[in-house]
Amino acid sequence: VNMVEWPFTQINNGSIISVWEMFPGVPDPPEQQAFEKEFNLMVSSSNNHPYLQWNGALYSINHYEIWKKKDRGSYSLLTTTTDNYYVDNAEFIYTPGAAQKAYAYYKIRAKINNKLHSLFSNEDHIAVNDYPGIEKELPGLAPEHAMCAENQNFSIDQNYPNPFNHETRISFYLAHDENVILKIFDVNAKVIRTLVDNEFKTQGQHNVNFKMDNLPSGLYFYRILAGDFKATTRMIYLK
């Protein structure tokens, strides 16, 4: 006979669940209570990006969840990791005169026993560059833009590799023959490269390789126009 030890129990359908799922009023398990003080989340700068570091859990965990918000926005899940550190390459530490200032806030929690979550850690934040004019100049770019844009079987993928330090590749798929424009923009919405200049392309997959020589490290955007399909995606260049 398989024995199920406290704090877990077995219900009629054979599922094993924790007592905290059955009785919400029961105090948090020690695993959950302990994490909040143990984490000690700290956010600093590493290679001009927010660097998160926290104390590793004393208990066995599945992974850590990293949650993020910008200024007065709402928290959302950024990513998961099994490490006790993370670099947010999507953000750049605030540089006076280069952009407006915003604050990126972070907190973490752990997933344990495949079901339970720890309490959230303390919150920490850091000043980052903000580019409020980009969305206006390049319509279709949301603050947390999805890395792959699709429309009626047209698609453009995240460049690979990303971040990159010399050369990268952009791939896109056309549902039918179409004239294509593909351009690279800086954070001021200025065109810095035209990779495809209203060229006729046949239906199917296309790859464009290019180099970013003689340009400063930072955040850039690439935008495709193909008939009614248009999409903008960001990329990070690191020398």
Tens digit of each residue's pLDDT (9 = 90 or more) over 8-55: 444 444 444 444 444 454 445 554 554 555 788 999 999 888 999 998
Average pLDDT value for the chain: 78
Specify the long-range contacts of residues 157-164, CB closer than 8 Å, at least 24 apart: 158/233, 158/235, 159/222, 159/233, 159/235, 162/235, 162/236, 163/89, 163/235, 163/236, 163/237, 163/238, 164/212, 164/235, 164/236, 164/237, 164/238
Structure tokens at 32: 């959950």
Residue 201, pLDDT score:
95
Indicate whether this model's pTM tops 0.85: no
Phi then psi for 31, rounded to 5 degrees?
-60, -45
Cα gap 167→161, rounded to integer Å: 8
Is the pLDDT reported for residue 138 higher than 50? yes
Which residues of the chain form CATH 2.60.40.10? 8-130
Does residue 54 contact residue 41 with C-beta atoms inside 8 Å?
yes
The SS3 assignment for 50 reads strand
Fold classification of 135-237 (topology level): Immunoglobulin-like (2.60.40)
* Architecture of the domain defined by 8-130: Sandwich (2.60)
Query: At 204, is the pLDDT very low, low, confident or very high (cuts 50, 70, 90)?
Result: very high
Residues 6+ apart with CB under 8 A from 212: 164, 166, 167, 168, 220, 237
In which element (H, E) is residue 189 found? none
The secondary structure of the chain in percent helix, strand, coil, rounded to multiples of 5, reads 10, 50, 40
* Ranges of CATH 2.60.40.1930 domains, the chain: 135-237
At CB < 8 A and 24+ separation, what contacts does 195-203 make? 195/170, 195/222, 201/174, 201/177, 201/226, 202/174, 202/177, 203/174, 203/175, 203/176, 203/177
- pLDDT band with cut points at 50, 70 and 90 for residue 168: very high
